[in-house]
Amino acid sequence: MLTQDLLLQYYLFKQQNTNDTNLRKLYINAFNTRESRIDTNQGLQKAVKGSYGFFASATLARRTLRTSLIQERCSLKEIEVGQTFTVVALPMEKFSPYEKIINLNILRMLERGVIDRISDRMLPDMPKCRDLTTFHSARIADVYSAFIILAIGIVTAVCIGLVERIWSRRLKFKNKLRQIIDIYLRKKRTSEVHTNKNNPKEFLNDYINNIN
């Protein structure tokens, strides 16, 4: 809490010399009424009730809103004061031989997400409010036609499947019957040839008849 008080006092002293008259009055008023020492959680609770505003660290306020006032935080508004923004920098000598090495490591940290995690710890994002849902439950009458189309599709698919199955079985039966007939005719021809060879006269007569 001591660190927070020192920071706020530093900002108050800094804003006393700002060119913005209204901003300077606000800071002086907050300092005189001891509003600068109010706890962040307590100040947010008072702000939720309305007609109240207070100065607080953006980091502390956003962290508090992440875990508390979940239902009420959508009614709060954050007013950013550009004069209070701080910049984190790494000072070094001009044309320092370490400049390229440091820049390269910073780029690597940026690619691996280290910079984003550090930024989130230093200044987390303001919690987003979820929009009110516009979902309305559908009635049976609203989806009646969809069920009819679905039923027709299922019946059509079943009929097509049955026709394809019957046609496939028919082709298999036809091919099998053709194979049986071919085997029977081959056996019959073979038996006729053997019979003719055993009876030379009949074999000769068949040969002459075929020539004629």
The 10s digit of each residue's pLDDT in 40-71 is: 777 777 777 777 776 777 777 788 777 777 67
Q: What angle do CA 73, 32, 122 make, to 5 degrees?
A: 45
CA distance 38 to 46: 11
The 10s digit of each residue's pLDDT in 152-193 is: 999 999 999 999 989 988 888 888 888 888 887 777 677 655
Please give the pLDDT value at position 160. 92
CA distance 117 to 124: 9
Instruction: Please provide residue 197's backbone torsions phi and psi, each rounded to the nearest 5 degrees.
Output: -65, -35
Q: How much is the pTM?
A: 0.39
The 10s digit of each residue's pLDDT in 116-155 is: 888 877 777 777 776 544 555 666 666 778 888 888 999 9
Q: Per mean pLDDT, which range of 88-97, 140-149, 201-210 is the poorest?
A: 201-210
Element (DSSP H or E) covering residue 85: none
Nearest to 66 by CA among 134, 2, 125: 125
Inter-residue contact 34 to 54 (CB < 8 Å) = no
